[in-house]
Amino acid sequence: MIGETIKDFKITARLGKGGMGEVWVAEQQIVKTKVAIKLLLADVSHDKQHVQRFFNEAIAVSKIKHAGIVKIYDVGFHAGSAYLIMELLEGETLASRIRRAGRLPMGQVGDVGRQIASILDATHAAEITHRDLKPDNIFLVQDAELASGERVKILDFGIAKLGTATGLTGTGGSMGTPAYMAPEQWADSAKADARADVYSVGCVAFEMCCGRTPFVAASIPEAYTKHLNETPPRARSLAPEVPHELDEVIARALAKQPSGRPSMKELGAVFAAIGATRPGALAETQQATGAPLIRTPASQVTPHTTLGSAASSATVEPRPRRWMLAAFGGVAIVGAGVAIYAITQRGPDAAPSQTAVPTPPPVTKPAGTSTSRVAESNRWIPIMLPPTPIVLGVESDRVPATVRGFRPARKITSPTAPYELQYHEVTWSELEPWLASSRTPIDFPPWATDPVARASLPATGMTWSTALAYCRSLGGSLPTEEQWEYAARGAERRPNSWGAARLDRSLTNAYAGPNATPAAVRMSSQDQTAGPGETLFDLTGNVQEWTEGLWREDLPNADEAWVESGQTSIRAIRGLPLAVELSSAVQTEGAAYREQLCATGPCAEKGAALRRYVGFRCARPVPR
């Protein structure tokens, strides 16, 4: 594509690629204006519904008269693929800002909230409902004309509900991102009106104030239940600095009944009052994050594009960067025209826990260490998702109910958002430079005292918080249980990562007894994933691995309050155990095998002996 011309724009670089299309940088040949061109894949462009939703963005944007709307210059088809030519933005998403700063300063909450409300008020005046407002779709660009120094841009009108004047009202079914969806939106988004956007603004405002969404859920059914039935916490209960008037209007915005919510103008007025009493949003952010907001040179620009993922998520950044962005519709169509969305999981704010996790300092490269070689040695493998979500767990394979594993009664399904896993467990050679740079004490297990011998061994014994912090430094997180299990079992729901073959202890390092030690990664000729795509190693039979999620009982409706109490949290670990004797259960559990382990709090240190046999690998959203 580079060098090709669409209209009068010559394509100069690719920003990113996803499951539905690509985003390119192009330059007008006379005045040299740079734009973003979003190009649907040719096979996707044959689907009239996809193309209509794609062009809906242009229709919506053309009707809204506001500086906070991304400009779209042209639409059409090129070589059989639908395209949009649109404004190229430089800045960062609100999601990235929240990840970096945690709770935003109140002055910035007021300024950003005021602008969001103003843009959406103009959107609703044009008889358009956004229906997918979230921090990933809110972009912050520098603008010297505004007192705060930043302008808000709202992106991604691909699933917007357009007014009756256009004759386009969108597709029925649940559309949006669960963490920000209004209760009425879950039943039929086509019937949701502007008050659903008010609810989403309430969720976004809560997250700006508290560093997390009002409802933290580990699955779509859990999110559904909470949004429809549970009362959200008050923002002031998590962030006492939130003014009473802002706390009150956020609570009203999160009302279950649309009639109980304030208007967008009311929201905007409260945000404006908060911003007026606390000026200097940029200065406040710099003070709060301890990092200057000066953007990096153009040579270090990091592209950020949303490319048809089911739940958009930005890459975690260890320091502020300058971003170029062109948003691609965050929609995944699954099954008979029904859109199914995954919980937004953006790393730090995705874990279903309020337990504080230390944020590591930026990784520095020790002398003589090549970070590029480290990254290449444990590369990221895209996981091929099934065409429709599948039920995970042992019961779906018709094994006895007495066997442990995720139970379908919980509606545990495969991930719907594209993601990647590291193709083997994190090794000591990868982890040690980061531990040294972050000044994390290292307690090597007895088999890892020799620096040469341990280089290719999985790094075990790390606390859950340390493992999570390392993954975040790579722009990812620990995998959820669903991500881990689906990668091990695949769309065919194989019993083991390698398929249906019975465990061969001579080939797989599992159930090797109390004196067993981990094997080097990628050494097993059996423990390699089967099927299409690149191979993943050691998912089932070397060491067990931490996951992001809190422990959940196999059967639903059990009392699980004990898994997170005070500073204590219990997390799930996956993979067959190493330092125990062979059990008959292994033949039926396989990749569904799971255990619990104390992750944080006083019991974490007591579990250090068990952690000696627990390693980890990282997961991340598909880069865009």
Which residues are catalytic, by number? 132
Give the residue from 153, 152, 158 showing the smallest Cα distance to 171: 158
Encode 221-232: b = buried (16+ Cβ within 10 Å), e = exposed: ebbbebbeeeeb
The first and second tokens of residue 496, run together, are: 């083991």
The amino acid that residue 349 corresponds to is D
How many residues make up the chain in this entry? 624
Judge contact between 509 and 578, C-beta under 8 A.
yes
Task: List phi, psi (to 5°) of 573.
Answer: -115, 150
The first and second tokens of residue 298, run together, are: 């153009």
Judge contact between 174 and 340, C-beta under 8 A.
yes
Q: What angle is formed at CA 200 by the lines to CA 56 and CA 271, rounded to 5 degrees?
A: 115
The first and second tokens of residue 127, run together, are: 């008889």
Helices (H), 261-310: 264-277, 281-289
Judge contact between 624 and 307, C-beta under 8 A.
yes
The amino acid that residue 110 corresponds to is G
Provide the 8-state DSSP code for 499. Answer: B
The first and second tokens of residue 462, run together, are: 């790390």
Give the residue from 224, 231, 578, 286 showing the smallest Cα distance to 410: 224
DSSP secondary structure, 369-389, as one string = --HHHHHHHT-EEE----SS-
Half-sphere exposure of 425 (CA within 13 A, CB side): 35
Give the residue from 93, 108, 121, 276 showing the smallest Cα distance to 198: 121
**CA-to-CA distance for 380 and 272, rounded, in angstroms?**
44
The first and second tokens of residue 397, run together, are: 């394979």
